[in-house]
Structure 1
Amino acid sequence: MSLAFLTQQFYIYIGCFLIVTGVFGSLFNITVFLSLKTFRQSTSVFYLTIMSFVNIGQLLFGLFSRIMISGFAIDWSATFIVFCKLRLTLLSLCSLVSYTCLCLAIFDQYLATSTRLRWQQWSSLKTAYRLTLLFTFIWILHLVPYPIFLQHVTSRATGQTVCSITNDAVSMYRNYYVTLVLVGYLPDIITVVFGILAYNNIRQIAYRTLPLVRRELDKQLTVMVFAQVIVNLMTNIPFVTMVAITYAMGTIQDSSVSEIIQFVSNTTSIIFYSYFSSSFYIYMCVSERFRRQFIYVVSQMHPYRWQQQIKPNNQIVPT
């Protein structure tokens, strides 16, 4: 059994599993977060809600197209110029916004659990709206060169048409700065540092005079986000490190070594995408309160609302 065949099977079966579980998990997150007033008033949950939306986009534009390419040898980006320009642009935007929201969520929990009242005041929905719009605007401007320089190019080695960035400077910028820094080690460092600080604040929260509901919510959200930070480290570092090694090695002449490197690279890529599909299941595992809230929303709140909407339609109007 060749490594190329294993890679194909990984993308078909594991990739499809991650898409299905990830899309449904993100939709469950959005449903719970938007249904409960406690969550709607939380700044950190606002970031997690936006992150759930863009994670769906990352799975559809990134992983799904990768499954079609590596699993079924169907490359829409090499066939349609519009898809060529949009795919990399949109998946890059989704990944940047997702990691930005994770950084902002854990930083917000650090502020919200701080003993300094002035820092707590920075944790507000008004600030969250502005920061989200600001960073999204920055990332959109930052990605403007992508659709400009993404073009169909005929490969000299294979003679096949591929979708590639035609500007060397933009290509180097994406490969080294965007991949290794902006969606690589930088968010890892930020989330770990403020995750540890927020977790330390939570350990001292029992000694502070806070309303019980606020205290329990802060503990719940800090544990949820910090657990996601840990998972992010486990999924992101192998992928980014493998990308750095691949760039450092350059072109490999030995075909067997090249096949091994490609297999490891594809494996870490699958692991990388698992981050975008795992948030709901992380929350369910680490937070008993979130499990109760999810069960309440899907088994009581929304079924009751649907019954109330259907009931008037079933009433017999007297003649």
Structure 2
Amino acid sequence: MSSTYTFAGKQVIIYCGIPVFAAGVLGCSLNMLVFLSLKTFRESSCVFYLTVMSMVNIGTLFLGFFPRIMVSLFSTDGTEISLFYCKARLYFSQIFIGTSLSCYCLATIDQYFATCTRLQWQLWCNIKLAIRIIIITVIIWILHGIPYVVFYDHVVSSTTNQTTCINTNYIFDRYRAFVTLLLLIGYFPIMIAALFGSMALRNVQQLAFRTVPLIRRELDKQLTNMVLLQVVVSIFTLLPYTTVSAVATSTSTINDPVYQGKIQFAVTVTFVFYYISFASPFYIYFCASGRFRRQLKYVLFDIHLSRIFPNQIEPQMTLNVQ
């Protein structure tokens, strides 16, 4: 029975994971293209966080999600062959995931400050400060990942004689399960983003009664809708895997193979949902904002395709796009 759940889990990874991976890489690339092509976005600290998030999301999908697809397809991801890859994949994967979720929280916090009535809080929203915060954030995650390099190693099974890449330190294993997975890249980002996202939404609803330039008002509404919908999606993608992983860790001593098979199948399914959170931002923004859809069309056709086919496409720049 447990083998049935294992087979079903592989099918979920193959037939659901591959489309999620491909769509995620494409979507993150389009996000960066739009954000870096328009001056309005390049001047926004909130969009700066979203741009960095899109960059590291590609790394997250390649180092965190793609190896799981390889295991389902070929029963190997290469970590048992190279000790360097064994350590490096896990090390950089946690850096990318941590940085991505940090940017996700920082974007919602930044949007809350940007829509506040107090001028001194609005001054916190600037590119120079955002760059410093991102550098500090990346350094923290780099230092946090050092135990992955130290404690992950090749271990040869005494029964199957197969080499696996596993954690060899019990204390770090508990820390990773209950602090890193459960809190740092689990519940904390969702709670922070939900709190500041809801407060930013309340601020935006009051913009109509405040003297704010039209372009600034429309940009604040657009960004708030984008990050708030992302918060909603993240609740349904991040929470299930975090919760199921906690259950799996706490019940790992149960020897019932059928029960363990069901738990691992649930972990596999929610694992795909977890990485949907890193693959979906572009599609969230596309659905949340008609302005973003117009900006995407403008960037793709009026800016970039006009360079390829200059005699066929005439560039047009309109206020509602910028």
Q: With structure 1 as the length reference, what TM-score do the two structures score?
A: 0.94
1-structure distance, mates of 2:231, 2:97: 15
- Specify whether residues 184 and 2 from structure 1 end up closer, same or farther in structure 2 by C-alpha distance, changes over 3 A only: same
- Counterpart pick for 1:24 among 26, 49, 52: 26
State the distance in 2 between where 1:39 and 1:91 align.
28
Query: What letter matches 1:151 in structure 2?
Result: D
Distance in 2 separating the partners of 1:292 and 1:192: 27
Could you tell me which of 70, 73, 81 is aligned with 1:71?
73
Verify the 8 A CA contact 1:9 1:71 in the aligned structure 2. Answer: no
Match of 1:314 in 2: none
How far did 1:70 drift?
2.7
Q: Are the equivalent residues in 2 in contact too, given 1:39–1:45 (CA < 8 A)?
A: yes
Q: CA deviation at 1:156?
A: 4.1
Q: Structure 1 residue 75: deviation in Å? A: 2.8
**Helix, strand or coil for the counterpart of 1:162?**
strand
Compare 140-149 and 56-65 and name the one that shifted more: 140-149
Q: CA deviation at 1:250?
A: 2.1
CA distance in 2, matches of 1:306, 1:45: 27
Distance across 2 between alignment mates of 1:108 and 1:199 = 12
| Alpha-carbon distance in 1 for matches of 2:56, 2:159 | 36
Larger deviation, residues 7-16 vs 115-124: 7-16
1:116 matched residue in structure 2? 118
Structure 2 counterpart of 1:135:
137
**AA paired with 2:77?**
D
Q: Is structure 2 residue 50 aligned with structure 1 residue 48?
A: yes
1:217 aligns with 2:190: no
One-letter amino acid of the structure 2 residue matched with residue 192 of structure 1: A
User: Structure 2 residue aligned with 1:90, among 92, 110, 124?
Assistant: 92
Question: CA contact under 8 A between 1:25 and 1:278: conserved in structure 2?
Answer: yes
Aligned to 1:206: 208
C-alpha RMSD of the superposition: 1.4
1:49 is displaced (CA, Å) by: 0.3
Match of 1:287 among 289, 294, 297: 289
Structure 1 residue ranges, 4+ long, deviating more than 4 angstroms after superposition: none
Other-structure match for 1:255: 257
Q: Does 70-79 or 205-214 show the bigger shift?
A: 70-79
User: What whole-Å deviation, never above 9, does each CA across 1:215-234 have from its counterpart, x for those lacking one?
Assistant: 00000001001111111111
Q: Distance in 2 between matches of 1:136 and 1:215?
A: 31
Cα deviation code 1:249-274 (max 9, x no counterpart): 12221111111111111100011011
Please give the alpha-carbon distance, in whole angstroms, between the structure 2 residues aligned to 1:118 and 1:179. Answer: 35
Matched with 1:3 is 5
Q: Distance in 1 between matches of 2:213 and 2:72?
A: 53
* Aligned mates of 2:20, 2:14 — CA distance in 1: 10
- Residues 93-141 of structure 1 show CA distances to partners (whole Å, capped at 9, x for unaligned) of 1110000000000000000000111100011111100000001011101
**Separation in structure 2 between the aligned mates of residue 159 and residue 103 of structure 1, nearest angstrom:** 44
Query: Which residue is equivalent to 1:301?
Result: 303
What does residue 317 of structure 1 align with?
none
Partner Cα distance (1:275, 1:17) in 2: 14
- State the secondary structure of the residue aligned to 1:152: strand
SS in 1 for 2:153: strand
Q: Is the 8 A contact 1:65 1:75 kept in 2?
A: yes
Letter in 2 for 1:51: M
The match for 1:106 is 108
Instruction: Give the whole-Å Cα distance in 1 for the aligned partners of 2:62 and 2:159.
Output: 30
Structure 1 unaligned runs (5+)?
310-319
